[in-house]
Structures are given as structure tokens and as C-alpha cells.
Structure 1
Amino acid sequence: MADILTHVFRTFIPEAGLTKDVKLISPSSTACSTLMVGERSVSRSVLLLAAVTAASEMDSKVFFFTQTQIQSLPVSLQSCIPNLSPETLKKIKFSYPRTVEDLLQQVASLHETVSTAPTPPSLVIVDRLEGYLHGSAGSSSHTGFHQGEQSCAAHVSALLCDTAAFLTQILEQRGSSSAPCRVIASYHSELQAGSASGELPAPDPILAVLDRYFQVRCTLDRDRSCKATAAGLQELWHIFLSGTGLTEASPAKGSEVRNVGVAHEWQLVIFPDGLMEFTLV
């Protein structure tokens, strides 16, 4: 959910930016899913950062689904959290379903095993959803989407949302402060990434289906301008949080929350040594 991502961004704001008024994005029991759209390597780094932050600072149990084996944490994550304890990593369960059928089965199994688990997961992450929907991971084919893929996207999304609702109910029944359960999935659109410079990206029918289920969109957009290049940064990214699932604390009424439905913009700087810093725009 966007509140976890915002917590991550706020955690890694440089000291010079701490005086800025960072609005809190609050969780909602009816809007607990976020779709991260952007380049694969940076989206995985942000997902792993979210998983570790949720486990270490929010005492959350995390399920992390991905097709490709994670042999070691990325350099960026090691730079951000140099003193990561083994106890924190034990709260994150990595699972490697190879096909969409395997993914569906493993997500559905959370309903069966959670009744005996001492601590139900309060964050479910699916890395590189396009690899499950379009075939094998790393496929570069994006010519022609079939109706079956759109139906599969709807099936996966519906199961993730249903699972989050089920886990939220269990967490609330147990009086857990980790409720509600959130879902974050990443998706890389080959159609949008492959559009020519200066042209509007081609509409992605799979992304349109996913947007019906995920109430918050987190868009990662790399800044390739001359200004970014002249600054000598390894990478500069713009992050946009948007969607009807966003709520924020109202400055005028304290803890009261209101629906925003507009984008929140952040910047992500990845330095040559891998250190990641977020800045509220």
C-alpha cells in the first residue's frame, strides 16, 4: 500500500530535506493495493527496500513472490541499510513460482496456511508481474496482446485483492497493529517503454486491466534530461503516486483523512555507490 512506500521514502530523505512538511498517506481497509510501473531493476530495488523497511521498522511479516532467484540484496539496499539484521530477513519469505499457475496456487495457499501461522503476513509483494502474464521472464515480445492475457491479469489481481482482504480480517481479529494487509506488485509495460521519443506511448490493455484492481499507481520515470546528466548523478528518477486509493492527513483537522486522487511526486537519486535518497517535490 502507498503508506508503506511513503514510509520508505520518508525514511531515506536526506537530512537537508527533513524540515519539509511530508504529508502522511494513511492506509485504508478498502484500498490496500499498489501497482508499481517502471523499469525492472529500479522497481525491484524499491520493492526490496519496502519489504525490508516493513519488516524492520513496522514489524510486518512479508511474502515476496518473484520468478528470478535473489542471490543477494542489491548494492543500493546494502548502502541504505548497512546494519540489516538476520532477524529482520527472517520476517521476509521469498517464494519463486515459475508460472502464473504456480503464482496463483501459492497466493491461494495463504488462505489455508494462515490459520496455523503465528503471524499472518501484512504485506504481499509480487515482483515483475509481466513475466507471469506474458510468458517466461525477460521476454521482449510485445506484439499483440491476447484476450487470455487480460483475463489472466484480472484473475491474478482479483486473487491478490481477495487474499489481502482475507488476511486483513485475520489480522484485525487477532488485534494486530499491522492490519490492514497490503499488496504491492510491479509491472513493466513493454509497449510504453518501446514508444519512440516524443510520441505518446501505445495503450497497454494489460495495464488497463490491472488499474481496475490496484487503487494506487506508483510510476517510476527516469529523468534523462541534460540537467540530470550535467548534475553528475548516476540516476535520477521521478516517482508519482496517484489514484483514488490515496488519503492523507488533513493539516487543518489533525487526524481526519480525506481522499486525494491526485499525484504525489517524489524524486529518487541513486548515487554511483548505490545509495538511494528520496526527496518530496
Structure 2
Amino acid sequence: MDKLIELTQVTAGYDRKIVLKDVSLTVWDHDFLGIIGPNGGGKTTLLKVILGLLPPKAGDIRFYHQGQPADGIKIGYLPQMSNIDRKFPISVQEVVASGLASEKPLFRSYTAAQRERIEEVIVQMGLKDVQKHSIAELSGGQLQRVLLGRSIVSRPQVLILDEPNSYVDKRFESKFYPLLEEINRESAIVLVSHDIGTVLSMVKNIACVNESLHYHAGSNISSEWLDKQYACPIELIGHGNLPHRVLKNHEHTTD
């Protein structure tokens, strides 16, 4: 299996504050990597390093294409909170199409193949009936699907999702996780979530970020491993179509 992204002993932070320390991680071709960890543990900082938004203070990040070193790879990104202006007069179709803007020559129309791909993604996201609507008319869940469509329309090698279920409406929730499995056939996925149970039910590998990074190949992990990485006892119970999470009773002492 070819590697796509490789971080080696990366330290990163803001000004003098270190958020990540000596982090090493490999994202593989067709990987489905779940990134979990406590709030403030460094999950978002890790994403910023991978996306090139935050230069590491130390260590290296390398990209690979078909097993060979590359200057960069195509990455799709669905942020936790979008700064998109919902009052801006732009349609669902135009937002999805904007994910191909870098591949379209300036002042040229999209090719027939690109228009076909845009239509395919709109259908895949369940947005066919609202494709001509302004984004101002959408629910939060619909808007998130539009942004997900924009992030995959270019067929990225890696798709990064930051808390993607935060805005998925209940109507689409049952289709969302099978959709990610479908996307995973074309792209590696890095999914960041605070919902540990959901992550464990979906992913192939797990990384827990809490300043340092602890990697676990496979998603069949023990509660003891989670307890150690979170420094806080966690118990998982899964049943039905969606997993449930239960916290053990525990006490925190204060000085």
C-alpha cells in the first residue's frame, strides 16, 4: 500500500505555545483514519499542518503520488465551521462547481466531463431538487452536504473531514456514513470527531491526539487504550445502527 502523507517528529503551535510535540503519522492510499482526542488536544492544529496552513516549528511533512515523493497532492477539506456567507447570491450548483475552479482555465467554461461530474456529485449528495436554489434557502444540513460535494468533486487523493456530522440533518444522517464508505473507494479519508463511538464504527485506523500522537492500526481498540490516551476513563457500548458512548464514573482532583 502506498503512502500519501507522512509526518515525521512534527512540533507545531502558535507563538510560544506548543500544541503538538514530536508527532509522527502516515496516511495511506485508501486509508480511513479516525483522529480522536480531548478538546484542546491538537486535532485542529494537526489538520492545519497537513493542509499547509500552519508551518511546523520542527519536523517534516512529505507528500507522495503513486509511491513517489511529490511537492503536494490533491486534498479535499470540509471544515468544522464554514465562513461561507449565506447571503451571497450563489446557487448550490455553483458552490459544488467551485471545487473544480482550479482545474478550469480562466474565463473558460467547464468541460462536458466536468459538468457531468458536478451533476453526479449533486445527485450523490441528495441535492438534485435544490441545485438551482440559493444557499440562503438551505438548512444547515443541506449546506453541509453542498460543502461536502464541493470538497469531493475534484476527486481528491485525501479528503479531510473536521466534525462532519455536526451539521448533517437527521434526514440525511442514515445515508451519510454509507456515503463516506463510497467516497473511500476513491479517496483516503481523514475524519476528525469528538464522537468516539461513531469513529470506531467506521474507520480502518485510529490516531489519538493529545499533544503527542498515539497510533493504533485497526479500529478494534480497548477501553484501556482509550483511557490512557485521554487520561480520562471511557467506556464504549455499541448497538443498533449507530453506536452509543457511555462515560465511566470518575473523579478529577483539584489542588
* Interval of TM-score (by shorter of Structure 1 and Structure 2): 0.3 to 0.5
Of Structure 1 and Structure 2, the greater strand share is in: 2
CA radius of gyration, larger in: 2
Of Structure 1 and Structure 2, the greater helix share is in: 1
TM-score (norm 2): 0.43
TM-score (norm 1): 0.40
